[in-house]
Amino acid sequence: MDVFTITIPSSSSSSSTWMDSRIWSRLPQRLLERVIAFLPPPAFFRSRCVCKRWYALLFSDSFLEMHLSLSPRLHWFIFFINKTPLPTAVYNNNNNLTTRANNDSTVACQGFILDPRDNTWYRHVFNLIPPGFSPVSSSGGLIAWVSDHAAEKNLILYNPLSRAIAQLPQTQRPRLYPTVGLAVGHSSLNVVVAGDDMISPFAVKNLTTECFHADAGGFFSMWDITCPLPRLCSLESGRMVFVSGKHYCMNYSPFSVLAYDGSANEWWKIQAPMRRFLRSPSLLECRGKLVLVAAVEKNKLNVPKSVRMWGLQSCGRTWVEVERMPQELYEQFAEAEGGRGFECVGNGDFIVMTICGSDAVLLFDFYRKGWNWVPPCPFAPGPGLRGFAYEPRLATPALGLLHPSSLSF
């Protein structure tokens, strides 16, 4: 079964000139594989139906190595139906803190992949992910899943295209719903788990950070309790963004940005722009920069309500406004949102905005400076999409760092 379920846009087929099949049959295999390496994932998986040799390319180390070096980077997004509310803390008859599942554990989780270039949707069923896990982060073609139960956390890393899967060792500290950051390189893997420490069966606080690191240089670090989180911090969103070697997440009440440098083992706070007037702030990576997106509501001043974007400057302390939603579009967006809140995710030139409890998705293209509403996902069973940046990759060698014997290239 192919990884993708494909929806074909309704458009008239254009006439094209077909290349003589005899030319293809005479191409050297290495050259033919080089051509196939440039195919986008949906076309590649369709091509596997041609013959056994093409079908086996997904398992060929030489082809996958070529694909990693030649294939263009695709800045896509993957959405999941949000579990609302988040895992709920309840007490059983023994007065022990547990979590109550709010989804049907017998139904396999589905992900809905968006190609923002042509607004095409694909569906992937995560059959290999066990019940009781939720997606929390993504990087380098991998999706990170964390266990929902209130205890020491189990994390799973999964590549939707190759279906490669690996589980990390269990964290040291029991936590409820921590904030998780993931940074995956070609030969490195870094995971950060912060906050929601269960200091007793009756209390949860944001106290500690745990880090897991592995790289091809032979360095393999199990979960280490690193520097404590800043005092009085609140990590309600559960999201981290990795930009230029640092992890960032939103701090609430009042709004600010928390930054973590793993190499220096240090947390610090960055003041958010217009923090007294922000609503639904989100941090995201766009074009290699950290961007903060939020609604601005200054009722007592002569400033129109809007959705604005700020970029963090190279000094790491100041923000500059880089974009503002057109007022006419903002009025449409505000009517659709209805004060329920929204989330934003960035990837490459694109930013998507999802409205809480809705299937509406608004897309912004930084390069073309264009806004458009994405057609509704035809596969989603209901509203409440939660998005993540996703870069489709046929191979993720970093997973081999967790199983050194399986690392082929």
Query: What is the SS3 assignment for 339-350?
Result: CCCEEEEEECCE
Annotate 163-205 with DSSP letters as a single string.
--EEEPPPPSSEESS-EEEEEE-SSEEEEEEES-EEEETTEEE
- Please state the φ and ψ torsions of residue 307, each to the nearest 5 degrees: -115, 125
For residue 346, the model assigns a pLDDT of 96
Residue-wise pLDDT for 160-191, tens only, equals 999 999 999 999 999 999 999 999 988 899 99
Residue 344 has pLDDT above 60, yes or no: yes
Is 170 found in the same domain as 137?
yes
Is 104 found in the same domain as 82?
yes
Residue-wise pLDDT for 285-322, tens only, equals 998 899 999 999 876 666 778 999 999 999 889 999 99
Is 209 found in the same domain as 61?
no
Count Cα neighbours of 54 within 13 Å in the Cβ-side half-sphere.
16
Residue-wise pLDDT for 131-148, tens only, equals 999 999 999 999 999 999
User: Tell me, what CATH number does 257's domain have?
Assistant: 2.120.10.80
Residue 87 has pLDDT above 60, yes or no: no
The CA-to-CA distance between both ends of the chain, in Å, stands at: 26
- Count the helix, strand and coil residues of the chain and give each as a percent rounded to the nearest 5: 15, 40, 45
Is 383 found in the same domain as 301?
yes
Q: How many domains does the chain have?
A: 2
Length of the chain: 409
Residue 12 has pLDDT above 50, yes or no: no
User: Cα 93 from chain centroid?
Assistant: 37
- 180 part of a folded domain: yes
Q: Which domain holds residue 209?
A: 76-406
- 327 part of a folded domain: yes
Is 212 found in the same domain as 134?
yes
Give the Cα separation of 247 and 194 in Å (integer): 11
Residues 45 and 1 sit within 8 Å (Cβ to Cβ):
no
Task: Describe the crossing of helices 29-36 and 61-70 by its angle, rounded to 10 degrees.
Answer: 50
- 11 part of a folded domain: no
- Please state the φ and ψ torsions of residue 213, each to the nearest 5 degrees: -140, 140
For residue 202, the model assigns a pLDDT of 86
| Cβ-Cβ contacts under 8 Å for 256 (sequence gap 6 or more) | 250, 269, 270, 271, 272, 275
Is 344 found in the same domain as 265?
yes
User: Cα 352 from chain centroid?
Assistant: 12
Is 92 found in the same domain as 2?
no
Residue-wise pLDDT for 212-266, tens only, equals 998 887 777 888 888 899 988 888 878 999 999 999 999 987 899 999 998 888 9
Is 60 found in the same domain as 85?
no
Residue 111 has pLDDT above 50, yes or no: yes
Give the Cα separation of 151 and 236 in Å (integer): 18
For residue 99, the model assigns a pLDDT of 35
Is 126 found in the same domain as 83?
yes
Is 290 found in the same domain as 391?
yes
E strands of 245-348, at which residues?
246-251, 256-261, 266-271, 278-286, 289-296, 306-312, 319-324, 342-347
- Confidence grade of residue 7 (pLDDT, cut at 50, 70, 90): very low
Output 313-321 pairs: Cβ under 8 A, ≥24 positions apart.
316/259, 316/270, 317/270, 317/271, 319/272, 319/273, 319/292, 321/273
- 231 part of a folded domain: yes
- Please state the φ and ψ torsions of residue 51, each to the nearest 5 degrees: -160, 170
- 223 part of a folded domain: yes
Is 50 found in the same domain as 198?
no
Annotate 105-141 with DSSP letters as a single string.
TTSPEEEEEEETTTTEEEEEEETTSPTTEEEEEEETT
